[in-house]
Structure 1
């Protein structure tokens, strides 16, 4: 590795754009004039002391103070991201970083950059793909606000571990390192504070080899940008959206099963209240449960189809088997048959109703079943069209044929 000279406060000439240092440390910056200069100096001192060829990239997110001038005068390369957002800043910064390894940290003085060699050692010597700091290993969380320290962060970490079968102790630590290949694998897209959470989720989903390093959080310099309850809700919302099995598939399946179970009990006369057979009102609730359950299940299949075709479910045996047998024409035909069955039931009932001079129907539960089948049949056809479009995969010359996914061993499969 090439040794970088220790930097002073004098302006430093930027390296040529064609150079590729070992590591790029990327700092998002929004009005951090109190700490940015010291952070850049500390990073360059670590580079010099450990013979690390590295660069510091500061992504300015629209600072109105002297942050940009200070960062440049201390030797950092500054890029500008006019679109506000923590994620936007990192996406821009990583795009312009030239290092083979990427380190992310905050520019507010809270992180000890002397840990950078530890992060790099885990990546280069120990074979890890994704290395994250943990403020909860070794008691480094004293400077976290009480609400976040005892409730917010631990609760979100436990929820994430439960949903994605990960083992993080501090899912919101802002100091992390990964190779460029790992970054391209996790493909973060979030523009706001959830960006950090998305990195952890995607690292777990994509099967990266993950390590946590104990770090201690320092006192913050300047004003915090966090908004506790808003950011906490957005984090929870994101975890739910990234876990379609728990948010869509299982609730949808159970609700749909309950709805059709009610329909069956009504049609076969198995459900009584106070000695009287259940009425049409119960049929309405059966229709609601069946239709809402089917729509929720359909949304889950759509989410899994997107994940299977473009993200991290390439070894998911269940979804791979579904797409190995899924054909748009079959789905449209099946939806058409279900719709026809429902409309036939309704047509027969309308005929009986007219013949009876519009008197109340003797078996109104059939009307709710016919309506349910008609609605679900039509919805299934539109859902099949969307799933078919989502399952179209981008061209990849090295990708195995679809049938190869079915040969993945059960031990290697993941089902999130």
Structure 2
């Protein structure tokens, strides 16, 4: 009795009505497997095609996997889960990627890399293959943000041709269903310390007569939103620190009197706005802390640091309540003193500027105190042990 040879490589293509180009892609992939001698298979992850794509794939010897859940990410995950290879190379079925030249990907995978990304900017982009909006704005900007938010060296976050160890990718918990799946693979692989490399690949104009499924602004926003949500540091912490420090320092300085910088004067009206900025910034800091603690509680993959862990260990319902009450009482004390001075004067007319100058820090401390207490309560909810089923 002979055992079937082990499949080393699965070439997975998501498909939704790709009858015009699917046969070309499959033939190129089959040609690569035959030429290279790699033991492989072609997996077509069909997402509900109605143009006969399934029959085309089956007639050419590919394996068709029906994926009911709609979306680019859903189709790919269905194909990856059904793949039998040690390695998976995924690519769009629109004939824009060259499935006949996968050697650079296979070489890096065999060398031990967990994820091998194609780079279209290094390999070459055929005229008309990528809209100017994507080539000069969308892809460079989103890739730059991805490298900024996460310690990644990848220059082309959204290349549709990429290879990976199947077991490594299945272990990182991919959850997105749409086009942001491309970013999720890179981000989570980076956060979990997988070995990642990048190889040049080419992009040519796709062979379809219809418009692509990609929607520039909608899908671009989904990519950006994903990058932001997985980096509370940039979404909440850094803006919060800037807003809180600028607002706090400015409002404290103006509590002692007007400030003039050249021809520009700042007084109580500026102090009011700066105190509002302080509250907004403090809210950002609290959101950063709560988001990371929630992510830790739920097992999400979000960057952590020793400094954060030290803060997280001290952030409890009790500590939040104590700090919050102290801040609130300090603000209330200023208000009580101010009221006492007014009462001693017989509740007569007051100087508006002097009154507001003290009332603003009093109100600010009370608001910060109340926010801290509420954040502490939320921390208490997060700390409740639960039994997972």
Q: 1:375 aligns with which of 352, 367, 381?
A: 367
Give the drift of 1:311: 4.2
Residue number in structure 2 paired with 1:294: 282
- The TM-score normalised by the length of structure 1 is 0.79
CA contact (8 A) 1:308 1:316 kept: no
Asked if 1:36 corresponds to 2:22, the answer is yes
Q: Structure 1 277/146 Cα, relative in aligned 2: closer, same or farther at 3 Å? A: closer
Any idea what SS the aligned residue of 2:176 has? coil
Q: Deviations over 1:3-27 (max 9, x none)?
A: 88xxxxxxxxxxxxxxx74333222
Q: Structure 1 272/152 Cα, relative in aligned 2: closer, same or farther at 3 Å? A: closer
Q: Structure 1 71/353 Cα, relative in aligned 2: closer, same or farther at 3 Å? A: farther
Q: Deviations over 1:146-189 (max 9, x none)?
A: 33233432333233323324222322110111113431454332
Q: 2:331 aligns with which of 324, 339, 342?
A: 342
d(CA) in 2 for partners of 1:114, 1:275: 69
CA contact (8 A) 2:320 2:375 kept: no
Residue number in structure 2 paired with 1:47: 33
Q: 1:127 aligns with which of 112, 115, 122?
A: 112
Asked if 1:333 corresponds to 2:325, the answer is no
CA contact (8 A) 1:135 1:141 kept: no
Give the drift of 1:191: 2.1
Give the drift of 1:387: 4.5
Any idea what SS the aligned residue of 1:137 has? helix
- The TM-score normalised by the length of structure 2 is 0.84
d(CA) in 2 for partners of 1:306, 1:32: 41
Q: Structure 1 33/350 Cα, relative in aligned 2: closer, same or farther at 3 Å? A: farther
Residue number in structure 1 paired with 2:376: 384
Asked if 1:259 corresponds to 2:247, the answer is yes
Residue number in structure 2 paired with 1:283: 271
Residue number in structure 2 paired with 1:106: 92
Q: Which moved more, 1:65-74 or 1:359-368?
A: 359-368
Q: 1:364 aligns with which of 356, 362, 367?
A: 356
Work out the number of aligned pairs and report it. 379
Any idea what SS the aligned residue of 1:55 has? strand
Residue number in structure 2 paired with 1:189: 175
Structure 1: state its 5+ residue gaps.
5-19, 397-416
Q: Which moved more, 1:161-170 or 1:354-363?
A: 354-363
Any idea what SS the aligned residue of 2:373 has? helix
Any idea what SS the aligned residue of 1:324 has? helix
Residue number in structure 2 paired with 1:137: 122
Q: Deviations over 1:208-241 (max 9, x none)?
A: 2211121122331223112223333333333333
d(CA) in 2 for partners of 1:219, 1:273: 58
CA contact (8 A) 1:256 1:294 kept: yes
Any idea what SS the aligned residue of 1:52 has? coil
CA contact (8 A) 1:256 1:289 kept: yes
Aligned residue runs from structure 1 range 310-329, under 5 A: 310-312=299-301, 316-329=305-318
Residue number in structure 2 paired with 1:12: none
Asked if 1:239 corresponds to 2:227, the answer is yes
Asked if 1:305 corresponds to 2:293, the answer is yes
Q: Deviations over 1:264-295 (max 9, x none)?
A: 21333363699999654233212211110001
Q: Which moved more, 1:263-272 or 1:189-198?
A: 263-272
Give the drift of 1:389: 5.3
d(CA) in 1 for partners of 2:241, 2:376: 17
CA contact (8 A) 1:3 1:51 kept: no
CA contact (8 A) 2:42 2:62 kept: yes
Q: Which moved more, 1:73-82 or 1:191-200?
A: 73-82
Any idea what SS the aligned residue of 1:218 has? coil
Any idea what SS the aligned residue of 2:101 has? helix
Asked if 1:67 corresponds to 2:53, the answer is yes
d(CA) in 2 for partners of 1:289, 1:174: 42
Residue number in structure 2 paired with 1:402: none
Q: Deviations over 1:10-48 (max 9, x none)?
A: xxxxxxxxxx74333222111111122332333334334
Q: 1:77 aligns with which of 63, 68, 75?
A: 63
Give the drift of 1:318: 1.7
CA contact (8 A) 2:258 2:267 kept: no
Give the drift of 1:261: 1.3
